[in-house]
Structure formats: structure tokens, C-alpha cells
């Protein structure tokens, strides 16, 4: 659960993206082992002092055809809408500029906590220059150097002290699932079909849903909450002021959900942006169901479903664990199968396996297919255990984690899947070096 959302704002060339990348550290530069997962650098998550924070790099949003002032104002609007705390970045060598004053005036209207960060403070002999920034009208400014990593820890400390108290989740007991996908794939129609009433506006115009809408409902006596999200566009197409939050809200919806319904437009087929959308949910470790919508509009025989299913898994190699449902939100065909499947993948994501059983499955897998040797060394798995659920996470204690190749880790994952029903949920395997006591 995210403890706070932090927006980084300021005029261009003050180091907003440098600060964002410095805070993300190695996390942002990791090359993901799974093919097909596209990362969007507009946001990032990190943990500091047990607090999980999402940072928004507003410098990553570029709007073609807008004037400079409008672009700055749009960044501040994002902060107003999404952030719990605003980090206002200025350039220490340049001092306060007219543009800084313009941003400050906008931020003072937000009633959000604002932390002024004077970047490019690379030389401590100029530390006294920081006092100029009191003139912006906020609390004590902080001196940092994004280039050298100076002051970043102190900044994160200050951010955590300013985190607002989070209210209790209104829907703590209900099973929550969100509906994500590109604009105009039929998400709102699917929501209406599931709850069997027109609670969400449905339109052929792309982008009708511009917020995340929570709708509680009952099904066979059980309580659920369905979250409809705005369609996720390519960054170059996020240009309308009312749509600029869609990606961020979809991310929030994914994080608040127990299960994710990823909707593909059957008429349009699989598009490149679909991989980005699905990648968000996959990286969040959420159970996923792929919903292939508008099946009624396609002239397909039942036998051809397998052809489409194979094509989907070829395009989404990292989602082969996710079940695929072919539905028509318009005619409600097969929509009735979704809730039972949502229950199933949720149960699978929360399944916990006893340590002795996990050890037996892993050791049998290692004996059946021993790890390949590397430079005369071979991986040895001494002990295995499940350490958490949602997603199921397993720790393998080994002689040398570097000897565990990604392909072998995937083999062990498949062995666990063959032994236990983890349909619909990702599995995390962590390899650690055994420490002799």
C-alpha cells in the first residue's frame, strides 16, 4: 500500500528528472528480466523508513503546442490532483527567477505540504545562498546536489515527516478488482455488464471515463468493489488537461485492487500499448485476468479461440499464467464467468504452501533437472520457503545467487506452478546466499 504520493514540480532545467532518478536509485535502471514489460519513467516507487512512496516526475510530461506558462500550470495541476506532498525544485546557482515565483504562487493555492529543494548545491561554501529561497514563502528550503547525491536522504526524511494521515479504506473487507486497458476497449460497458446496471457512462468517444470510479455491489451474497479506470494512452497522446492524470489513476487503481481485469479490444486486436498497460499490473504483482472483449463483433468459430489465445500468449510472454476470457460486454456473453474466475485467482494469489512441501517440490525439480554449471561451479539449493502471499513469494537459500540463471529460476517457477494452482497470479522467487551460523 502506498503511504504517500510525491510530485516533483518546477520550471525546466532545474533538475526535476535528475532528482527523480536519484531517488529511484538502482530501481529505475534495472533491466527487467521479463521480455515485453515497458516501463514508463513518469512515475516510480521507493521505500524510505518503512514508508512506500510514489514519486511523480512532472518534468516527464510534455505537451505539444502549449505555451511555457500553460505547461508549468499543468504540472502544478497534477500535483494538486494526485500528490500528498509537493517537492518544488529550484536552481541554487540561478537564484529565484520570475518562473519560480510563478510556480510558487500556484503552489500556495494548493493547501498541500510543499518542500522547496535548492538543487545544484555542489559546493558547501555557497550554502548561505539557500536563504534566498525563503522568499518563495514556504518552510525552510533544503540544499541538495542531485549530481553527487548530497542531501537526498535528508530530503526523504523530511518528506516522511510531512506525510498526511491516511484515512481508513472504506472497502476493507470486500474483494476489490479494477478494469484497465486502453481507451475505447469497452471497460465501462464491461463494468455495466458485470453489475447489471448502468452505473457508469458508456460512450463511443475515447476517454469518457476520466477518473477511477469505485462501485460496490453484491454477487451471490458476497461483497465486491469494481474500479473502472480511465484508459491509458501513450504519453504523446496524453494531451487533454482532463486526461493527464489517467495513467496515475490507473496505477492507483491497480495498487488498491486485489485482482486486475486487463481488457483487450477484440476488434482492434493487440496493440503495442497493451503491453505497457498489462506491464503495470504485472510489475505490481497483482493477479490478472485477460478479458478479450467485443468477441460478438468478430466472425470467429469456437475452434479459432485457441488460435487467438496462442497469439495473446505469444505477445504477452510474461502473462502466460493469466487466464483468458472471451466476452461481449454488449451482449453479456460469458460475462457471468468473470466473478467466479476473479474469486479463483484471488484465492490462488493468497495461497500459502507449507515449508516442507515447498522444499520437497523444489528439491525434486533440482534432482530432475540439475542446474547447469558455470565456470566450473554449480548452483546448490539448500532450503526453500514461502515468505509471503499476494503475490506468492518464495525464498531459495543457495550457495551463490549469481549461479541462478533467469532461465533456471523460470524452470523452478514452472515446477511450483505444476505442483500448485497459481493460475492468474505472478510468482516471485528470491534467491539468497545461505549464511552459515
Extract the annotated binding site. Answer: 10-17, 57-61, 119-122, 181-188, 228-232, 293-296
Which residues on adjacent β-strands are paired with residue 142? 117
**Which DSSP category does 21 fall into?**
H
What CA–CA distance (Å, rounded) separates 210 from 200? Answer: 11
Q: Residue 255: which H helix or E strand, with range?
A: helix 246-256
What torsion, rounded to 10 degrees, do the Cα atoms 161, 165, 166, 170 define? 170
Grid cell locating 170? 472504506
Grid cell locating 408? 533456471
Work out the burial of residue 343: count CB atoms within 10 Å of its CB; fewer than 13 is exposed, 13-18 middle, 19 or more buried. middle
Residue with grid cell 468493489, as numbered in its chain: 225
What CA–CA distance (Å, rounded) separates 348 from 272? Answer: 29
What CA–CA distance (Å, rounded) separates 119 from 127? Answer: 11
What CA–CA distance (Å, rounded) separates 167 from 262? Answer: 28
- DSSP β-ladder status, 43-48 and 51-57: antiparallel
Cβ atoms of 85 and 110 within 8 Å: the answer is no
**Which DSSP category does 175 fall into?**
E
Helices (H), 332-388: 338-349, 355-368
Known binding residues for GTP are 10-17, 57-61, 119-122, 181-188, 228-232, 293-296
Which residues on adjacent β-strands are paired with residue 260? 178, 288
What backbone phi and psi angles, to 5 degrees, belong to 88? -100, 110
Which H, E and C letters describe 230-287, residue by residue?
CCCCCHHHCCCHHHCCHHHHHHHHHHHCCEEEEEEECCCCCCHHHHHHHHHHHHCCCC
Contacting residues for 102 by C-beta, under 8 A, at least 6 apart: 69, 72
**Which DSSP category does 31 fall into?**
-
- DSSP β-ladder status, 4-9 and 51-57: parallel
Amino acid at each position: 500500500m502506498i503511504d504517500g504520493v510525491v510530485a516533483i514540480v518546477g520550471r525546466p532545467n532545474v533538475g526535476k528528472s535528475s532528482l527523480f532518478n536519484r531517488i529511484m536509485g538502482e530501481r529505475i535502471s534495472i533491466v527487467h528480466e521479463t521480455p515485453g514489460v515497458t516501463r514508463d519513467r513518469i512515475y516510480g516507487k521507493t521505500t524510505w523508513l518503512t514508508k512506500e512512496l510514489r514519486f511523480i516526475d512532472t518534468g516527464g510530461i510534455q505537451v505539444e503546442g502549449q505555451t511555457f506558462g500553460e505547461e508549468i500550470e499543468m504540472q502544478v495541476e497534477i500535483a494538486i490532483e494526485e500528490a500528498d506532498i509537493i517537492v518544488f525544485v529550484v536552481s541554487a546557482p540561478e537564484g529565484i527567477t520570475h518562473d519560480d515565483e510563478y510556480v510558487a504562487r500556484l503552489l500556495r493555492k494548493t493547501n498541500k505540504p510543499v518542500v522547496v529543494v535548492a538543487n545544484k548545491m555542489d559546493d558547501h561554501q555557497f550554502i548561505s545562498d539557500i536563504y534566498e529561497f525563503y522568499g518563495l514563502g514556504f518552510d525552510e528550503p533544503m540544499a541538495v546536489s542531485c549530481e553527487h547525491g548530497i542531501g537526498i536522504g535528508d530530503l526523504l526524511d523530511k518528506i516522511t515527516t510531512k506525510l498526511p494521515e491516511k484515512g481508513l479504506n472504506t472497502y476493507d473487507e470486500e474483494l476489490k478488482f479494477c478494469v484497465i486497458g486502453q481507451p475505447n476497449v469497452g471497460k465501462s460497458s464491461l463494468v455495466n455488464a458485470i453489475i447489471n446496471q448502468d452505473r457508469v457512462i458508456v460512450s463511443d468517444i475515447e476517454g469518457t471515463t476520466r477518473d477511477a470510479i469505485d462501485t460496490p455491489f453484491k454477487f451471490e451474497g458476497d461483497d465486491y468493489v469494481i474500479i473502472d479506470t480511465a484508459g491509458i494512452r501513450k504519453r504523446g497522446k496524453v494531451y487533454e488537461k482532463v486526461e493527464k492524470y489517467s495513467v496515475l489513476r490507473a496505477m492507483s487503481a491497480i495498487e488498491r485492487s486485489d485482482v486486475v481485469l486487463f481488457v483487450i479490444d477484440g476488434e482492434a486486436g493487440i496493440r503495442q500499448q497493451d503491453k505497457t498497460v498489462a506491464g503495470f499490473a504485472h510489475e505490481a504483482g497483482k493477479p490478472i485476468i485477460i478479458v478479450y472483449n467485443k468477441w460478438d463483433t468478430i466472425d470467429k468459430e469456437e475452434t479459432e479461440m485457441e488460435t487467438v489465445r496462442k497469439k495473446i500468449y505469444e505477445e504477452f510472454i510474461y502473462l502466460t499464467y493469466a487466464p483468458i476470457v472471451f466476452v461481449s460486454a454488449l451482449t453479456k456473453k460469458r460475462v457471468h464467468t468473470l466473478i467466479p474466475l476473479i474469486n479463483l485467482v484471488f484465492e490462488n494469489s493468497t495461497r500459502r504452501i507449507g515449508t516442507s512441501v515447498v522444499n520437497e517440490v523444489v528439491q525434486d525439480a533440482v534432482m530432475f533437472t540439475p542446474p547447469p554449471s558455470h565456470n566450473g561451479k554449480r548452483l546448490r539449493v539448500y532450503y526453500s520457503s514461502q515468505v509471503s502471499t499476494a503475490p506468492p513469494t518464495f525464498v531459495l537459500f543457495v550457495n551463490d545467487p549469481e549461479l541462478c540463471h533467469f532461465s533456471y529460476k523460470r524452470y523452478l517457477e514452472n515446477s511450483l506452478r505444476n505442483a500448485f494452482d497459481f493460475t492468474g497470479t505472478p510468482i516471485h522467487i528470491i534467491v539468497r546466499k545461505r549464511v552459515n551460523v
